[in-house]
Amino acid sequence: MTSQSPPAVVNQAAQKHKTRQIMASSIGNVIEWYDWYTYSFLAGIFAGQIFAADNHLVSVLEAFAVFAVGFFLRPIGGLLIGFLADRWGRKNTLTLTIMLMGAGSLIVGLCPTYETVGALSPVILVFGRCVSGLSIGGEFAANTTWLVESAPPGRRGFFSSFQYVSTTIGQLIASGFAALLTGLLTESSMSSWGWRLPFIVGALICMVGLWIRAGAAETRQTDKAVRRPKMFDAIIHYPKASLMICGITIAGTIAYYTWTTYLPSYAQENSGITASKSLMISTIGLAFFCVIQPFMGMLSDRIGRKPMLLASSGIFAVGIVPALALVRSVTGFVPLLVVVLVGMVILAAFTSISAAVNAEQFPWHVRAAGVGFPYSLTVAIFGGTAPYVGTWMTKISHPEYFGWYIAALCAISFVVYLFLHETHNKELD
């Protein structure tokens, strides 16, 4: 007679496996976005050390130009590393991406100053950010696929939600660490060496991530009889699904980068609220946003993805103009916080399930590359430019145009969602 493990032991082992998969997926997102936001928070501090401009503002602009270069390498990373994930397996590729994360962060943290090596200093910085840009595009492609494929039946929305849970945690850690260092160190110490610490710490955390991912399970089939995909197979053979990813992503990415990243600056520029108040509101909003993701993911497993996508894009399309008008007119802490929190709930209806919806559009053999390239390209075009577009419209004395711009993009996605097939009950191959 074959012995069997007691049900309690089996359930415990299964739960441990699920937890390990979520942790292994989340750690990469935490590190990647910690590094990404650390750069944006500290660029104004270290810019003078790397760039030889007479004007500090010019140095800061050059530092943010490097940041933009890394942003536009994300689609290349999504295509290239997504292709590797489809051929080599998700787990193997995610080992590569977390090593690239550590390398990119370490290069920036140890980058010599302009005074030491001259023009080579900004070249090294650019190289480090290019490595980070490639890794973040590839991390999303392989990570999204791996996370959703790890989910039990009827739980893909819940598993998917941890994509943005981990992203938000990384952002919160970055802002907290930067605030701690600027509070503890003098201005001269921070500009000379203190800014390097967060990047070096990020590289060290990658070692922890490697250990966590070593014990996780592969989700890609490894049948040698199945033809391995070529790099552009997803685009060539599934053009409709590729375009769908773009349409699905437009509303979510413009809303996400506006509401979680640019809103504090928008409020300061247009309402007169102090920087400390707007940043505090943003921090509370991000913490709230992080907590509600799993609940929204579970809701989508019950009612479906399509109703939530339609609700999110529709409410933003109709409500973003009056919402931003409120932000421009309200100076009180509590009213502005309420506006931010309501927006976070609407936004979470998209972010909590975006990984699941994207993964559900492609068959397994091209899923990572199929998701990675169009998603990262759309984010780079619409999400990465959101702060610039909003600032430019304020500069030309028409900040209200920004709301109409967002509304138009959300309306495009709303139309796409109308034609989207419901996928929450679809069985992944």
Could you report the average pLDDT of every consecutive run of 10 residues in the chain (429 residues)?
42 57 82 84 81 71 74 83 81 85 92 89 90 83 81 87 89 86 85 91 89 74 61 83 91 87 75 76 90 95 94 94 85 85 94 90 82 86 77 78 90 94 78
Together in a domain, 271 and 420: yes
The per-residue pLDDT for 191 is 84
- Whether 272 and 372 share a structural domain: yes
Q: Is residue 7 part of a domain?
A: no
Do the domain assignments include residue 351? yes
Reference 162, options 174, 173, 172, 151; nearest CA is 151
pLDDT in tens, 185-237: 888 888 889 999 999 999 998 888 888 887 777 766 555 555 677 777 788 88
Question: Which residue, of 216, 240, 256, is where some domain finishes?
Answer: 216
Q: How many domains, the chain?
A: 2
Residue 213 structure tokens: 């991912």
73 with 121, same domain?
yes
Alpha carbon 114 to chain centroid, angstroms: 31
Q: Are 128 and 108 in contact (CB under 8 A)?
A: yes
On whether residue 143 sits in a domain, the answer given is: yes
d(CA 312, CA 327) in angstroms, rounded, equals 19
Could you tell me which of 238, 176, 273, 220 has the C-alpha nearest to residue 373? 238
Tokens of 420: 């989207």
| Chosen domain end from 166, 189, 216 | 216
The verdict on residue 429 lying in a domain is: no
Alpha-carbon span 352 to 355, nearest angstrom: 8
Q: Are 74 and 120 members of one domain?
A: yes
Burial of 90 (0-12, 13-18, 19+ CB in 10 A): buried
Of 158, 188, 216, the domain-final residue: 216
**Alpha-carbon distances of 261 from 7, 45, 136, 353, rounded to whole Å:** 46, 19, 18, 20
| Claim to verify: residue 130 and residue 176 sit in the same structural domain | yes
Q: Which amino acid is at 265?
A: S
- Residue 381's domain comprises 229-424
